[in-house]
Amino acid sequence: MSGNDRPVGQPTPNQNAVAAGDAAADSAFLRACRREAVPHTPVWFMRQAGRSLPEYRKVRQGIGMLDSCMRPDLVAEITLQPVRRHKVDAAIYFSDIVVPLKAIGVDLDIKPGVGPVVEQPVRSRADLERLRPLDPEDVGYVTEAVGILTRELGGTPLIGFAGAPFTLASYLVEGGPSKNHERTKALMYGDPELWNALLDRLADITAAFLKVQIEAGASAVQLFDSWVGALAPEDYRRSVLPASAKVFEAVAPYGVPRIHFGVGTGELLGLMGQAGADVVGADWRVPVDEAARRVGPGKAIQGNLDPAVLFAPREAVERQAARVLEAARGLDGHIFNLGHGVLPDTDPQALTDLVAYVHEQTAR
Ligand code: CP3
C-alpha cells in the first residue's frame, strides 16, 4: 500500500517501513496472501531459523535464547540466515512467543530442550493483576531489529508474529510446556470469568506486540495458536475465539495480511476461519483443499507438508510435496509451508532442495 491510498485516520508506519513494504508488496508471498496471481507458489517454513542451521548454532553459542531475542544485530542475522541459504519467499522475525510476557516483567526463561518455563504460574485474580499492558518502549529492541531487517531484506517480506491468547495462557497457567493442559482447562471450566479476563488481557498484549512489529515494517503477521487443537470446537468457540478475534480486529486497520495457525486443528478450521485472519495455516492431518473447504471462502491457505517427511530420501520428499501441490491446485491463494515447525535434526539441504522443487513445479 502506498502512502497515498492509505485511508485518512489509519495508522502510518515509519518511512523506512513504507519503502521496504513497497519493495515487498509485489512479492509472491504477499500476492498469495491476498489471493492474487503468483509467478510461483511462495514457500517459507515455520522455525526456518534455528537449530537445523549450523550458522545458527554458531552465533548462538554461549548466548541464552531470551538474551539473543533482545539483541537487534543478532536477531537480524539469525532471521536472514535461512533466507540466504534456502531462498525462501519470506523471512520470519527471530523471537519467541513468550518475549512480550518477559518484556512486561513475567519471570520466565526458555530452557533448552524443554521450552518456556514460568516461575510463578498465573492461577488467581492476584496473579492476573501482575500482567500489565505492553508498552512499545518495553520492546525497543524489536523496533530496532525490524528496522534493520526491512532495510536488509529488500524485496523479501518480513513476517512478524505473536503467540495467540490460548497458547500463551497455557504456558502461564501450567508454568511450562504441557501435554494435557489440565490446569489451563481447569481454569477455563472452573472460573470462566477469570479465564475470560486472562484471555482478554493477553489479547491486548498480543495486539500491542504485533502493532510494534507492523509499525516498524513487518509486511505480514502470524498468530501462533500452537496448542489450541487440544480443545473441542464448542469450547474453542466460547472460550478462545473472542480473544483471538480481538487480536485480528486490532491489527486489521494496517492492511497487512494476518495468518492464523495451530496444530491438530482439523475440527476447528471452520471456527478459525471466523476469527478474522486472511490466511489460515493447516497442519498435515487435513489436505489443503479440504482445509480450504472447512475454513470457508475468501481466505488463503498455508501448509502443510509433515515436517517428519524431510527425514525421508529426496524422491520421497518430492512425492509428498507433489501431493500437497496437487491438493492446492484449485486454491486461489496457497503458501507452501510445513504443517508445523522445522524439526531441529532436519538436514538443511533437504529444506533448500524443497524450496527449489516447489518453485520449479509451480513456475508459471
Ligand atoms: O524461524 C522461526 O520460525 C522464528 C523463530 C521462532 C522461535 N519460537 C524460536 C525458538 C518462533 C516462530 C517461535 C514460536 C514459538 N515458541 C511457538 C509457536 C510455534 C510452534 O512451534 O508451535 C511455541 C509453542 C514456542 C515455545 C517454545 N520456545 C518451544 C516449544 C521451544 C523449544 C524448546 C526446545 O529447546 O526444544 C522454544 C525455544 C525456541 N524458540 C528455540 C527457537 C529457535 C530453541 C531454543 C534454542 O535454539 O536454544
User: Tens of pLDDT along 53-88?
Assistant: 999 999 999 999 999 999 999 999 999 999 999 999
Banded model confidence at residue 125, pLDDT cuts 50, 70, 90: very high
User: How many other C-beta atoms can be found within 10 angstroms of the C-beta atom of residue 299?
Assistant: 23
What's the one-letter identity of residue 49? A
**Residue with CA closest to ligand 1 atom 34:** 113
pLDDT digit string (tens) for 238-286? 999 999 999 999 999 999 999 999 999 999 999 999 999 999 999 999 9
Give mean pLDDT, residues 301-311. 98
Specify if 76 maps to a domain: yes
Beta strands at 258-261 and 279-281: parallel, antiparallel or unpaired: parallel
Q: Residue 292 C-alpha to ligand 1 middle, in angstroms? A: 27
The pLDDT value recorded for residue 337 is: 98
Locate the ligand 1 atom nearest the alpha carbon of residue 79 and give its number. Answer: 1
Beta strands at 334-338 and 91-92: parallel, antiparallel or unpaired: unpaired
> Could you give the CA distance from residue 306 to residue 339 in angstroms, rounded to a whole number?
5
Specify if 6 maps to a domain: no
pLDDT digit string (tens) for 20-49? 557 899 999 999 999 999 999 999 999 999
Total domains, the chain: 1
Catalytically annotated residues:
47, 51, 60, 96, 171
Locate the ligand 1 atom nearest the alpha carbon of residue 167 and give its number. Answer: 24
Specify if 7 maps to a domain: no
State the virtual CA torsion across 277, 283, 285, 288 in degrees, nearest 10: 60
Average pLDDT, the chain: 95
Q: Please say whether the beta carbons of 2 and 50 come within 8 A.
A: no
- Identify the sign of the CA torsion 311, 316, 318, 323: negative
Banded model confidence at residue 144, pLDDT cuts 50, 70, 90: very high
> Could you give the CA distance from residue 270 to residue 229 in angstroms, rounded to a whole number?
13
**What is the domain range of residue 191?**
15-362
Half-sphere exposure of 88 (CA within 13 A, CB side): 28
C-alpha distances (whole Å) from 9 to each of 1, 3, 253 are 15, 12, 9
**Residue with CA closest to ligand 1 atom 23:** 97
Ligand 1 pocket mutation pick from 47, 80, 93, 114 by most atoms within 8 angstroms of CB: 47
Whether 265 lines ligand 1, by a CB cut-off of 6 Å, is no
Specify if 102 maps to a domain: yes
CATH number of domain containing 222: 3.20.20.210
**For the purposes of burial, counting CB atoms within 10 Å of the CB of 182, is it exposed (0-12), middle (13-18) or buried (19 or more)?**
exposed
> Under DSSP, is residue 209 helix (H, G, I), strand (E, B) or coil?
helix
> Under DSSP, is residue 53 helix (H, G, I), strand (E, B) or coil?
coil
User: How many other C-beta atoms can be found within 10 angstroms of the C-beta atom of residue 306?
Assistant: 17
> Under DSSP, is residue 242 helix (H, G, I), strand (E, B) or coil?
helix
Specify if 48 maps to a domain: yes
Phi and psi of 108, rounded to 5°?
-145, 160
Specify if 163 maps to a domain: yes
Helix (H) / strand (E) element for 311: namely: none
Specify if 137 maps to a domain: yes
Whether 116 lines ligand 1, by a CB cut-off of 6 Å, is yes
Specify if 4 maps to a domain: no
The pLDDT value recorded for residue 8 is: 45
